[in-house]
Structure 1
Amino acid sequence: MDDYQVRPAVEQDLDAIVALWKEFMKHQTGIDPRLKVRADGEPHFRTWAAEALSLPRRTIFVAHSPSGELVGYTLVIIASNPPVFEPAEYGYIQDAFVLESFRGKGIGWKLTQAALAWFKEQGLAHAMLHVLDKNERGIAFWRQAGFDSFLHNRRLELI
């Protein structure tokens, strides 16, 4: 576990982050094919991720192996509640992914700790995320990390 390091992403990491995102999307759509990535999703993600490296309300943390290979990432944002709720803002873990062959080594935990520390530095009171209903391993991971169930999203196909 200690051989893998987590750090804030830099611009030179962008290609590797996009490659990890593509694997993340394969993983997610494999769990539930109702999740569909747009044909032009990759360039949109690249732009979103590039902006996260410079905007104050988003950031990315990457995990790398001893050889320097990026094996996971988490993209986090400061999100806003509707104006009727407190607190006004909260931390949102948009993406969290570790390559399959590197799971079970504590890397996801290190990425989560980096994200939560960043949220605390921003003065945020709580963090939220979404996890696919069918992602049993992900649900177990987030539960073990201290996240409890809060909202239940429902989906209805209209077309």
Structure 2
Amino acid sequence: MSIDTKNITIRPADKNDLPKLAQFLQILVDAERPFDPTLKEGEIFYYDIQELIEDKATEILVVESNNEIIASGYAQIRAAKPYEKYELFGYLGFMFVSSEFRGKGISGLLLEALKKWVLSQGITEVRLQVYDENEAAVRAYEKAGFKKILTTMRCDISE
């Protein structure tokens, strides 16, 4: 089921959005905990959202429905490794859609807007990271044209 896009707005985040974005980040962390046993307990801040809003190499977008923020994501220009084909690439992160809006095409709209921003910076390579076991997210990214290229593995050898 897709959503009526007449009531949807995608715009750059600003400092007034910080409380909502901080809330999204903690919901995102809680959702990722089952996939990652290395995460600490309690509040975790993967990054400083205000710093990302102010960073010229980053674009945080929020999606609003009827003037309520329902989703977020960022694109950031990063340097590639010296041995890679691209000097710079766009990295996507902080991808979040409120639960009541999932499965309605919001993530696709957000991904397209973020990719458009990366393209406007003259960059054609876009990457992101997703937990392999987060099947819904993997499907959404594959639907948006992403392909897996690397799997990170871990092993706890303390026992």
Return the letter of the residue paired with 1:65. Answer: S
- TM-score in terms of structure 1 length: 0.88
Large movers: runs of 4+ above 2 Å: 37-42, 156-159
Q: Which of the residues 14, 20, 26 maps onto 1:22?
A: 26
**Structure 2: where are the runs of 5+ without partners?**
none
Matched-pair identity in %? 24
**How big is the shift at 1:157?**
2.4
**DSSP 3-state at the match of 1:111:** helix
**How big is the shift at 1:82?**
1.6
**DSSP 3-state at the match of 1:16:** helix
Residues 80-105 of structure 1, C-alpha deviations (whole Å, 9 max, x = no match) = 11222221110111221101111122
- TM alignment of 1:1-159, pairs within 5 A: 1=3, 2=5, 3-30=7-34, 32-37=35-40, 39=42, 41-42=44-45, 45=47, 48-66=48-66, 68-159=67-158
Q: Over aligned residue pairs, what C-alpha RMSD do you find? A: 1.7
**Structure 1: where are the runs of 5+ without partners?**
none
Q: Tell me how far apart the structure 2 counterparts of residues 142 and 49 of structure 1 sit (CA, whole Å).
A: 23
Residues 12-37 of structure 1, C-alpha deviations (whole Å, 9 max, x = no match) = 1111111111111111113x141514
Q: Tell me how far apart the structure 1 counterparts of residues 89 and 144 of structure 2 sit (CA, whole Å).
A: 17
Residues 111-152 of structure 1, C-alpha deviations (whole Å, 9 max, x = no match) = 101110010011112101111011010111111111011122
**DSSP 3-state at the match of 1:41:** coil
The size of the alignment, in residue pairs, is 154
Kept in 2: contact 1:5–1:63 (CA 8 A): yes
